[in-house]
Every structure is written in C-alpha cells, then in structure tokens.
Structure 1
Amino acid sequence: MTTDTQAAASVDPYAEAASTAPVHFLYGLNPLAKLAAPAPAMLLLVFVRDLATPAAFLLLAYAVIVVGARFTRRLALILLVAVPLGIAAIGFGFALWTDQSQVADTPVVWQLGGWTMHVGAFAIGLATGLRLGAILALALPAGLTTTGPDLARSLVQQLRVPYRIGYTAIAAFRFVPRFGHELEVIRQAHRVRGAHGGRGPFAAAARWAGYVVPLLAGAIRHAERVALAMDARAFGAHPDRTERHLVRWRVRDTVFVLAFWAASAAVFWSTYPWALALI
C-alpha cells in the first residue's frame, strides 16, 4: 500500500474501529447512546449565562473523553490546544462586542480614548466562550469514537430511518477521502510534468485551477461507479435489507445514557443558572 493510499485510509469513514482496551468504553457504545446522552445538556446550555455551569460540563466532557477514549496526539491537541484557544478567542471577541454601558458599574480593565473595557464585559465574553466550548466538548465523545458506517447502521436499525437515506449518505460521505486521494495523485502528476511551476500567489492560483477539471472528472467517474454498484445490488428494490453487521442497543448503552443524564441534572441542580439566564 502506498503512502497516499495509507493517508486516505487513515480518514476512511468505512474503516473498522481499532480494537481497544476494555477501559476505553466509548468505542463499544451504540452511536445513538453517545448522541442521546449529552443532547439535553447541550440544548440547555444554550440558555445559561453563568460561568460555573459550562465550566462543569466542560470538565465532565473532558473526564468522559480521557477515560473512555484512546489518548492520541490528535486528541491531546484538540483538548489541550484547540478547545482552550477557541474559548479564549471567542471570549475575547464577545468581550469586545459587549455593550459597555451594560457593565459600566464594574471595574475598568483598560481605557483607550473614549473606549473603556470593563470586567463585566470580560465575564460575559468568557461565559459565552465557555458555553460554546462546553457544547463542543460534549459532542466530542461521539465524534471521536464513532465510525460512519456504525452511525448509519444504528440510525437504520434503531430509529428506523429508511436504509435508502442512511446508506446513501454514507456513500456520499465516502467521497471525502476519495477526493483527498485523487487530489494528491493529480498534484503528483502535475509536478512530474512540470505544470504550473513557480512561486507566488499567481502560480498557486494557476496550480489550483488546474486541479479543478481532473478532480471533477474523477468525481463523476466515481459517482457513476457507485451508482452502477448500487443498482447491481438492487439497492432500493426492497423495503429492507439484510445487514451483516448489527449495531445493537445493549444494557450498557442505557446505563451510560441514564448516568450522563443524572450527572447533567446534578450539575444544573448544583449551579442553578436559570435565575441568571432570565436576567
């Protein structure tokens, strides 16, 4: 297998989940359980305005991910760099956009001419950043430990979504790594032929413009092959299909959902952000 094929396979949504230690329980849960467990908290976090509630859910999500998922370099970058930087950037941005007249009674951080930054504006910005960061973190357990095929199978098997929709969506999503592989092949072919060489923005624009036509042609060919393969297998001819791989809803899925709901209720009960949210 070439390096390009390996790179494409590394992001293949059809790839089977790698075997993990039993402590990494997230990989063995039904995808719908990992979506249903944080859903109420994610919805209610939209309406909170305090600092403690999103911070508690951020810690809860981090704890679930660290315990239940494999700790890789990518996961470390997401948890330790991307999420904190996103929270800081969003918080600072909302602090700048906050109407300073609403927080005029709070201490002043700095003053530039007629523009003043108050502590209350920073608190509002930080609360907004933490809220969005907590919502993102709560979505990470499902996003980092769920494969595309398992999600489609669970939607079809548990939620009775028509398989024509579920498997067609997965076939369309499969185009992403395919496009990445074909783009790399096209770039290598252009380099071999010495096409669109040089440096600078104009040369880069010429190179990318040269990728468009062959990439579209490859996409059309791939779509035709997929359509022919689905027709050859009588896709859509019957109301249901026999599934070789079953994604079952087990007792552990129910336990995980109920435990997460209980933890979410405990967080909301202890912080009780509703009074502040209604201000």
Structure 2
Amino acid sequence: MISSINPSVKGISILIPGILLSLAFDVITPLVFLIFILTITFLFGDVSIKRWLMFFAPLSLFALGLAWTSMLHTNEKYSGGELLVDFWWIDITTGSLQVGVSLALRSMCFISLSLLFALTTDSTKLMLSLMQQLKLPPKLTYGILAGYRFLPLFKHELDLLRQAHQIRGVSRKKGIRARFGRMKRYLIPLLANAIRKSERVANAMESKGFTGDRNRTHYHEMRVRSRDWVFLSSMVAALIFAFYLSYELGYLNIFGRTF
C-alpha cells in the first residue's frame, strides 16, 4: 500500500514528476500520466473515492477555469493552427485549444499528485521522516507537528465558545460589524488558550529532555526500504513512458517546440 511508503521518498517521488510534467505543453503526456496516477491511487492507495472527489471536484473546476482563460489569451507563439471558433471577441485555434486542454490536464495531474500524498501520508510519520531522512531541525518539525495537532482542539474550543454565548443570550445581530464583533469575542479567549497550551507543551518537552539536538535517538525509526525505491522508480518510469508515447505519436511539445 502507498500509505506504507516512506513519506520523504513519497514526497520526492511526487515532486520530480510534478516539475518535469510542467515542461510538457502537449495533451498526450499529461493524459497518460493522469491515468497512471488515478490507477495507483485507487488500486494501491486505499483512498475512498467519495472523499477523493470531495477535494478533487472543486479544485478541478478551478483548473478548468484557468485552462479556459489560457485558451482565450494564448501567446502568439502557441496560438497557431486552424481557426476553430470565431465569435465576437473569442478566437480559438487548434494551438490555443491544445494549450488550454494541456494546462487543464497538467493541473489535474498536480491536484491528483497532491491528493495522493495528502490522503495516504500520516502527519507524525511525515515529521519523523523529515527529521531522520532529510535532516530537518527537530525544533522545526516538532513545532509544525504540535501546531497541526492543535487545530482540532481550536475547532472544539470555538464550538464551545459559540454554545456558551448562545446560552448566555449574547446578541446575534446580523451584518458585517456584528460579525467582526463576534470574531473579536472569539479570538481573545482562543488566543489566551493557545498561549497556555503552547507553554504546557514546551514545559512537557523540556521535562522529557527535548533540546532540539539533531543527534538524538528516536523511538520510531523511519527507514528507506526497497519498496520505497520501487515506488520512486515506478513514478519516474511512468512519466518517461508518457513522454516517450507522446513522442512516438508525434504530439510531444516542450515549451512550444514539437518533437
């Protein structure tokens, strides 16, 4: 399963194709790679389709809007070819259509890669891997992890504050000024609680011998195994195959230059 892949290796496996894929301006390369991403996500990622669509759908709408804008305002270098649509101020050629569709597919690839990482990665293992494999400072990684763990607590405290205000009959006026007033009443106690919690966490970490030293032992050892290298190799190989297939079909286009 992809969730068992070392998070640092998984991040590199997603970052490399993401960077290289941004060079392709054709349609075939991102389409083939998108099919590969979706296949491994649902076959080996143990990801709920409903949950995946909940994140993918709104982001894909943004990607389609970006592609439509790019199609209408394509640079002259890429907008050549036969004129397909000539209506009022809208001029769409085969070149601009290819740029728009390619941008949409690349954006969907980036979204799918991000969801593959986010939905199959445990936050604690990610921080441990960043410390042990990528040698990030423990102060930074533990600080990020502590802040991430505080988010559900803040939401719970915000719900309690709202309920307490309703019980005490605090005014629920409508309008922008009333909303700013409510936010002020919520932010002050939330900020005070955040400061108290951060002090308690800092004291607890110091009492357990946390100094921020890089040379430290870990209860959970994150290792890079053979399956991690297989995952990295498969991601890069899939992208190379997508480039090769596009080249064989005569569609490969890198920054407006067809190969």
Asked whether the two chains share a fold, i.e. TM above 0.5, the reply is yes
Alpha-carbon distance in structure 2 between the residues aligned to 1:264 and 1:153:
29
The aligned counterpart of 2:192 is: 217
Alpha-carbon distance in structure 2 between the residues aligned to 1:117 and 1:196:
55
Deviation at 1:101, TM superposition (A): 9.4
Q: How do residues 1-279 of structure 1 correspond to structure 2 at under 5 angstroms?
A: 25-72=1-48, 73-79=50-56, 81-99=57-75, 103=79, 106-112=82-88, 115-119=89-93, 120-236=95-211, 238-272=213-247, 275-279=253-257
Deviation at 1:104, TM superposition (A): 6.7
Q: Summarize the Cα distance change of 1:254–1:103 in structure 2 as closer, same or farther, 3 Å threshold.
A: closer
- Stretch deviating more after TM superposition (96-105 or 131-140): 96-105
Indicate if the aligned counterparts of 1:50 and 1:127 stay in contact, CA closer than 8 A: yes
Cα-to-partner distance string for 1:149-175 (whole Å, 9 max, x where unaligned): 101111122223332332222123223
RMSD (CA atoms)? 2.4
Alpha-carbon distance in structure 2 between the residues aligned to 1:277 and 1:237:
45
Indicate if the aligned counterparts of 1:33 and 1:257 stay in contact, CA closer than 8 A: yes
Deviation at 1:62, TM superposition (A): 0.9
The aligned amino acid for 2:136 is V
Cα-to-partner distance string for 1:84-140 (whole Å, 9 max, x where unaligned): 32332221122233357963753242422xx23313434322222222221221222
Q: Summarize the Cα distance change of 1:95–1:238 in structure 2 as closer, same or farther, 3 Å threshold.
A: closer
Q: Percent identity?
A: 31
Deviation at 1:237, TM superposition (A): 6.3
Flag structure 2 segments of 5+ consecutive residues without an equivalent: none
Secondary structure, in 3 states, of the residue corresponding to 2:85? strand
Alpha-carbon distance in structure 2 between the residues aligned to 1:240 and 1:181:
37
Q: Which has the higher contact order (CA 8 A, sep 6+)?
A: 2
Q: Summarize the Cα distance change of 1:98–1:221 in structure 2 as closer, same or farther, 3 Å threshold.
A: same
Give the number of equivalent residue pairs. 252
Indicate if the aligned counterparts of 1:35 and 1:139 stay in contact, CA closer than 8 A: no
Flag structure 1 segments of 5+ consecutive residues without an equivalent: 1-24
Indicate if the aligned counterparts of 2:30 and 2:242 stay in contact, CA closer than 8 A: no
- TM-score (normalised: structure 2): 0.86
Indicate if the aligned counterparts of 2:24 and 2:254 stay in contact, CA closer than 8 A: yes
Deviation at 1:188, TM superposition (A): 1.7
Indicate if the aligned counterparts of 2:11 and 2:117 stay in contact, CA closer than 8 A: yes
- TM-score (normalised: structure 1): 0.80
Secondary structure, in 3 states, of the residue corresponding to 2:218? coil
The aligned amino acid for 2:223 is R
Secondary structure, in 3 states, of the residue corresponding to 1:174? helix
